Structure 1
Amino acid sequence: MTKLREQLIQIQKKNYRKNVKLVRESLGYSPGIDTYRKEYLRYLRDYEEISNKTDLIGKASAADVIFQGDFHTLAQSQRSVLRILRELPGKREIVLCLEVFHGSDQKHVDSFMSGELSENSFLDKIDYAKKWPFHWDNWRPIISLCRENGIPILGINTEINDAKGIKSLRERDRYSARIIAKAFLRNPGKLIYVVDGDLHISPNHLPKNVGQLLELLDEPAKAFIIFQNAESLYWKLCSQGLEEADVLKVNENMYCLMNTMPANKIQSYLNWLEYSEDAYFPVHKDWEVDGFEGRGTMVHEMVTTLTSIFKLELPADALQKLTIYYPDDLHFMDLLYETPELKGKLRLVKDKIKRGEGFLLEYERSGENTYLIYLANSNINMAAEEACHFLNAVLRGPLKKPVSPFDHFYRNVITECLGFLGSKFINEKRKAQSENSIRRFLGKVKRGEHGRADQETIQVARHILQHFYMQRKTTEAAEFDKKFHIQYKSRSAISRIFSTQLGYMLGEKLFYAVKRGRFSMERIREFFRDPFDQPMKAFNCYLEISDRVKKVKHVSRL
C-alpha cells in the first residue's frame, strides 16, 4: 500500500466515523431498527468477486423481480436507478414499484403518469413534502423516463408507527409485498423493478415476503437484489487494495453497486438534516450557527484535508479571506456591481447560478486578495471542487497578466483538471465522462434513442471527440488553433463547458496516475503554484499530462 493510498483510506475512515457519530447523536438509539439493520448486514460480510456493469444488467434483465436499495438522501443512489432503467428498455417490459409513493395514492400516480395532472398538482395531492420529505429533483428524471417509455409506476409505501419499532417495519414490508406480488401476477412476462430503502431489500425482509406470497400461489419468481454502497464491503475492498471496484457480485442473485464513498454517503444524510425544512429529525444543535462555524465548515475542512494530501502550505490567514455563499444568500451580487474587477464576470456568474453550478471569485479588497465561493447546493463534489479551486487560486496568486484566448482556454482546462483531481481525493467514486461514454452518447443521439439531449450538450460532445482526434494527429498548437479558433475566442457556455469537460476528463485519469505512483506529487504541486501566464505553457502542460496518463485505466460508470 502506497503512503498516499493509506493516507486517503485513513481520512475516509476518520470522516466516516465522525459522520456516523453525528447521525447517532441526532437519531438516538432504536433497538428495533438496530435489529433490522443487523439482519441486513448479515448478507454483506463478504463478496464472491468483482464484477461489471454488463454482468449486472444481464442478471437484472433475466430476473422476474429486481429489488434495488436506495439511500434516500444520496442523489447518486437515485441516479443509478435511472442508469439501469435506461439500459433495460428494449430488453424487457417493466413495472416500476417505488417506496417514494404511497399505495393509497395510486389513483393520483396513475393520473400524473397519464398526463391528467400537472407536476405541482400531483405533488400537492399526494402531500409529497410530508409523506416523502426527500428531494423531488432526484426522482423527477426517473419519473420522466417512465412517462416517456410507458413504464407504469406503483406506490408501495404506507404510513408506519415509529412507536412500534421493528414490528412496524415488518408490517410495512408485508404491505409492500402484497402490492408487488399482485403486480407480478397481473403482468405476466414483465420485469417488476422494486426500489426501496436499503434495509428493506435485505433477502430476509421484503424479498422474503414477496417470495412467500408467490410460492403460496404456486407462482415462484426469480429475484435479483442490487445493494448500494455497503460500507462493510468497501472497507473489505480497501484491505485488499481493490477499493476502485464499482460493481461486486455478492452471490449469484445479489450484486452491490459501489458509487459513493462511505463518509460521503452519511454526509448526504447530515446535509439533508441540516438544510431540509422537512427533515424527520431536528437539526443538531451544534450546526445551528452561521459563517465559518456553520455551513462553511465543510469547505474549510476540505481545504485543510487537500492541503495535507498535496503537502501544500497556505498562508495562515488564507481561510479568513474566504467567504462562502449559498442560494439563500445572494448578497454577493451587490459586490459584483461594486467591484470593478468583478463586473466583467457578471454574465458568467448569472449563467452559472442559472445552471446550478458552483464557482470561485477572486478580487482585491483594501489591498488584499479576497475570495468568494458560491455553492448551488450541498453536493459534496461541488464543495470539494471549489475548495480545490480556492487552494489553487491562493497558491498561484492573482491573474493580472493578459493572455491570449488560446492560452486562456487551456489555463481553464488545467484549472478544472486540478479542481476535479482534488474532488476525487475527497470522493474517489466521482466519475468524469470518458471518450467511449461520449461516443456512446452521440451514437444514441444519432439513432434517436436520446430524445431529451439538448443541442448544447451534443455540440460540446462533438468538440471533445474532435479534440481527442486532433491530439492523436498532432501536437502543433497552430493546428489546434486553426480547428478550434472560434471556440477559443468565444465567451459562450458551450466554449466554457468544452474546456471544463476536457479538464474533468484529464483530472479523472490524473487522479489514478497519482494514486498509483505514476505521476509525482511534486509535479502536481508545481501545477497548483503556476499562474500559466506564459504563452503556450498551459497547452503544453495539457499535452504533457495527457501523454503521461493516456494508458491509465478509466473506471467505468454505471
Structure 2
Amino acid sequence: MRASLALHLALFRRQKAQIARAIEGQSSAFRAYEARYRRRTSEYRRVLTASAVSQRVQAADVVYVGDYHTLPLAQETYLELVEGVREAGRRVVLALECVEGRHQAAVEAYLAGRLAERALLARLGHGTSQGSWSGLRTLLSYAKRHRLEVVGIDRRAQGERSLELRDAYAAERIARAVRAEDTPRVMVLVGQYHVAPCHLPAQVERALGEAHGARGLVVYQNAEGVYWRLAREGKVGMSQAVELPDGALCLMNASPVECQQSFLDYLEAESGDSPLRDRSAAERFREMASLIGRLAGVPVVRWLDEVEVVTAADEDALGRIQQRGRFTQGELLQLRRHILSRESCYIPRARTAYLASLSLNHAAEEAAHFVRHCAVGDAMEAPRRASDAFYARCLEEALGFFGSKLVNPRRTCLGTGEWALRFAGARGVERQIAAFVLAHKAAEVEVPDEAVKLLPLRKDRLFHGVSHALGYLLGDALYRDFDGGQVDRAELRTLFRDPLEDPRATYFDWVRRLSR
C-alpha cells in the first residue's frame, strides 16, 4: 500500500471511530441495514464517463441519488443531475428525504410564494444557523426558481422497524408521484444507505406493482468500499463515476475523509458550544500532525501538547497568539491583517496554528507547517536576503500543500492554464500575481537564472501571492510523484528536515526533478 494511501486510510479510520463514539445506540436492525449497503458497494465493474452517466439518468423513470446530508457537494451534485434532465421536455419531480411528508402543504405554499423562507424554516423545525439549513434551502430555492414539484418523503419513526417504516412511507409517496398522468421523471434524494436496491427501490417497486414497469436507477455518491478500491488501484483522480456489479452507479466527487469531516463539523456547529468546537479542531489538528510527522520521519509527539490551535471563533485570537511569542507592533499589525483576511496560518514563534475556518484543507496544511517547525526549529524563521526569503517561502508553501494533499487527495490548485485565464480576466494586483507566476514557470526549467530576475522582492501582497502560488504548484507536483512512487519516503524526510541554507538551489532542484 502506498504511504499516502495508508495515511489517508488511517485518518479515515480515526474519524470513523470518532463518529461512532458520537452516535450511540445503533440497533441491530440498523447494523444489518448498513451491512447490506456495504455489501452492495464493496466492488465496481467498470469506470464510466460523464456522458455515460448522463445517458443512464436520461433513460430512467425514477433516479435514487444517495445523499451525505452534511456535505454540500452531495446536494449540489444531485442538482446537477436534475439540471441534466430538466430541459428534456419531461416534467421533473424532486422527492426529498430532508422534508417530512407532514410539511407538504407548507413547502407548496413556499414554492407558490405564499410563505416566506423564514416561516417555512420555522415550520420545518430547523434552527436559524446556516449550517443546518443551507442544504435544504439550496434545494428548495432551485425548485422554486424552476417551478418544480417537491414531494417530502420522510416521516418520523422509532424502534427496530424505523428504517423499514420510513422506506415504506417514502415508497408510497414516490409511487404516487410516478403514477401521475403525465409520467414525470422522479429524482429522489435520500440518505446513502436507503438507496441500496434492496431497501427503498425495492419498496417502490412493490408499491407500483409489477405491471407499471417504471425503470429505476440507483446513483450512490462516494461509497467507501468503491473509493478505497479505486484508491488502491491509483484511479481515484481519474474516475468520476463507476458502475457497480448490480448496475447501480457511484459518483466519485469527494473522499470519505471529506464526508466525515463535514459531519464532524456539523456535529460541532449543532452543539452550539464554542469551547467544545475549538477543542475538537485542536484534537483533529494534532491527529493530522501526528500522521504527517510519522510519514515525514519527524518526531512530533513531544511537541503536540505545546502547540496551540486558535480558530476564527476565538474572540481574542490575536491576544492568544501574542501571549505565546514576542512580537513587535509591526508584526502584530501584520497578524491582525492576516486574521482579517480570513486565511489560516502557522506562527512558528508562538507555536500556534490559526485556523480561519474548520476546513479540512486548512487544518492539514497548517499541521504540515507545524511538522516542518518540529523538524527544523528556528531555521524556519531564519533571516534571509530577499531572493532567498522568496524561495524559502515557496518551499514552505509546497510542504504545506503537500501535507494537505495527504489528507485530502482531491484538493486542487490553480494550474498554469488557470493562471493564464486569471491574467486575461483579472485586474490590479491579482493580474500582476498571475503575470509573475506565468513568467516564472516559463523560465524556471530552461533558464532558471532568468527566472530569478522575475521575483517580486518587496514583502507585500505581490511577494506573498506569487510565492504562495508557486509553492502550491510545487507541492501538487511533489504529491503526485510521491503518490506515484517516483519520490520515496526517505527523500521526503530529507526535504522536511532541510534547514534551507540555499533555498534557491533546493527549489530549482525539485522543480527539475518533478518536471521530468
- TM-score scaled by length of structure 1: 0.74
In structure 1, distance between residues paired with 2:87 and 2:430: 28
In structure 1, distance between residues paired with 2:230 and 2:246: 19
Once the two structures are superposed, the pairs formed by residues 2-41 of structure 1 within 5 Å of their partners are: 4=3, 8-9=5-6, 12=9, 16=13, 19-20=16-17, 23=20, 26-41=23-38
| Map of 1:519 onto structure 2 | 487
For 2:224, which of 231, 235, 254 is the aligned residue?
A: 231
Q: Structure 1 residues 372 and 84 mapped into 2: Cα distance closer, same or farther (>3 Å)?
A: farther
- TM-score scaled by length of structure 2: 0.79
SS in 2 for 1:220: coil
Once the two structures are superposed, the pairs formed by residues 300-311 of structure 1 within 5 Å of their partners are: 300-311=286-297
Determine if the alignment matches structure 1 residue 362 to structure 2 residue 348: yes
Instruction: Kindly provide the amino acid, as one letter, of the partner of residue 404 in structure 2.
Output: S
Once the two structures are superposed, the pairs formed by residues 247-396 of structure 1 within 5 Å of their partners are: 247-251=241-245, 253-262=247-256, 265-266=259-260, 268-277=262-271, 295-314=281-300, 317-335=302-320, 339-340=327-328, 341-352=331-342, 357-363=343-349, 370-396=350-376
- Does the 8 A contact of 1:326 with 1:374 survive in 2? yes
Determine if the alignment matches structure 1 residue 96 to structure 2 residue 90: no
Shift in Å, 1:515: 2.0
| Map of 2:56 onto structure 1 | 59
SS in 1 for 2:213: coil
Q: Structure 1 residues 476 and 111 mapped into 2: Cα distance closer, same or farther (>3 Å)?
A: farther
Shift in Å, 1:460: 6.1
In structure 2, distance between residues paired with 1:41 and 1:109: 34
Structure 2 runs not aligned, ≥5 long: none
Shift in Å, 1:483: 8.1
Q: Structure 1 residues 333 and 470 mapped into 2: Cα distance closer, same or farther (>3 Å)?
A: closer
In structure 1, distance between residues paired with 2:395 and 2:100: 48
Q: Deviations over 1:227-269 (max 9, x none)?
A: 1233333454466565665532104741123444445644554
| Map of 1:367 onto structure 2 | none
Shift in Å, 1:463: 6.6
| Map of 1:162 onto structure 2 | 158
- Does the 8 A contact of 2:364 with 2:403 survive in 1? yes
In structure 2, distance between residues paired with 1:117 and 1:537: 65
In structure 1, distance between residues paired with 2:479 and 2:23: 35
Shift in Å, 1:516: 2.0
Q: Deviations over 1:199-239 (max 9, x none)?
A: 111112222233344446x5433222111233333454466
CA RMSD between the two structures: 4.5
Shift in Å, 1:402: 5.0
Q: Structure 1 residues 478 and 10 mapped into 2: Cα distance closer, same or farther (>3 Å)?
A: closer
Q: Deviations over 1:276-311 (max 9, x none)?
A: 228xxxx9xxxx97987x542221121111111111
Determine if the alignment matches structure 1 residue 49 to structure 2 residue 46: yes
Instruction: Kindly provide the amino acid, as one letter, of the partner of residue 72 in structure 1.
Output: H
- Does the 8 A contact of 1:95 with 1:193 survive in 2? yes
Shift in Å, 1:187: 8.3
In structure 1, distance between residues paired with 2:139 and 2:469: 25
| Map of 1:180 onto structure 2 | 174
- Does the 8 A contact of 1:432 with 1:504 survive in 2? no
Shift in Å, 1:491: 2.0
Q: Structure 1 residues 24 and 135 mapped into 2: Cα distance closer, same or farther (>3 Å)?
A: same
Q: Structure 1 residues 96 and 403 mapped into 2: Cα distance closer, same or farther (>3 Å)?
A: farther
In structure 1, distance between residues paired with 2:427 and 2:243: 34
- Does the 8 A contact of 2:44 with 2:226 survive in 1? yes
Instruction: Kindly provide the amino acid, as one letter, of the partner of residue 302 in structure 1.
Output: M
For 2:408, which of 393, 406, 427 is the aligned residue?
A: 427
In structure 2, distance between residues paired with 1:86 and 1:506: 37
Instruction: Kindly provide the amino acid, as one letter, of the partner of residue 50 in structure 1.
Output: V
| Map of 1:193 onto structure 2 | 187
In structure 2, distance between residues paired with 1:99 and 1:393: 47
SS in 2 for 1:63: coil
Once the two structures are superposed, the pairs formed by residues 80-159 of structure 1 within 5 Å of their partners are: 80-81=77-78, 84=81, 94-113=92-111, 119-129=117-127, 135-143=132-140, 150=146, 152=148, 154-159=150-155
In structure 2, distance between residues paired with 1:408 and 1:381: 25
Instruction: Kindly provide the amino acid, as one letter, of the partner of residue 391 in structure 1.
Output: V
| Map of 1:510 onto structure 2 | 478
For 1:401, which of 383, 389, 392 is the aligned residue?
A: 383
- Does the 8 A contact of 2:443 with 2:451 survive in 1? no
SS in 1 for 2:348: strand
In structure 2, distance between residues paired with 1:267 and 1:156: 27
In structure 1, distance between residues paired with 2:112 and 2:473: 40
Instruction: Kindly provide the amino acid, as one letter, of the partner of residue 308 in structure 1.
Output: R
Instruction: Kindly provide the amino acid, as one letter, of the partner of residue 224 in structure 1.
Output: L
Instruction: Kindly provide the amino acid, as one letter, of the partner of residue 41 in structure 1.
Output: R
Q: Deviations over 1:102-154 (max 9, x none)?
A: 23333443454566655444322322239x99633445555555555x16262
Structure 1 runs not aligned, ≥5 long: 364-369, 447-454, 549-558
Q: Structure 1 residues 99 and 26 mapped into 2: Cα distance closer, same or farther (>3 Å)?
A: closer
SS in 2 for 1:432: coil
| Map of 2:515 onto structure 1 | 547
In structure 2, distance between residues paired with 1:10 and 1:362: 25
For 1:491, which of 461, 470, 491 is the aligned residue?
A: 461
In structure 1, distance between residues paired with 2:261 and 2:389: 36
In structure 2, distance between residues paired with 1:128 and 1:29: 24
Instruction: Kindly provide the amino acid, as one letter, of the partner of residue 334 in structure 1.
Output: G
In structure 2, distance between residues paired with 1:515 and 1:529: 20
- Does the 8 A contact of 1:420 with 1:508 survive in 2? yes
Percent of pairs with identical residues: 24
Count of residues paired in the alignment: 505
SS in 2 for 1:46: coil
Shift in Å, 1:503: 4.2
- Does the 8 A contact of 1:407 with 1:538 survive in 2? no
SS in 1 for 2:169: helix
Shift in Å, 1:90: 5.3
- Does the 8 A contact of 1:64 with 1:222 survive in 2? yes
| Map of 2:198 onto structure 1 | 204
Q: Structure 1 residues 29 and 178 mapped into 2: Cα distance closer, same or farther (>3 Å)?
A: closer
Instruction: Kindly provide the amino acid, as one letter, of the partner of residue 282 in structure 2.
Output: G
Q: Deviations over 1:363-405 (max 9, x none)?
A: 3xxxxxx22223344443332222112222443434252554x
Instruction: Kindly provide the amino acid, as one letter, of the partner of residue 346 in structure 1.
Output: R
| Map of 1:417 onto structure 2 | 398
Q: Deviations over 1:19-40 (max 9, x none)?
A: 3476167422402222322333
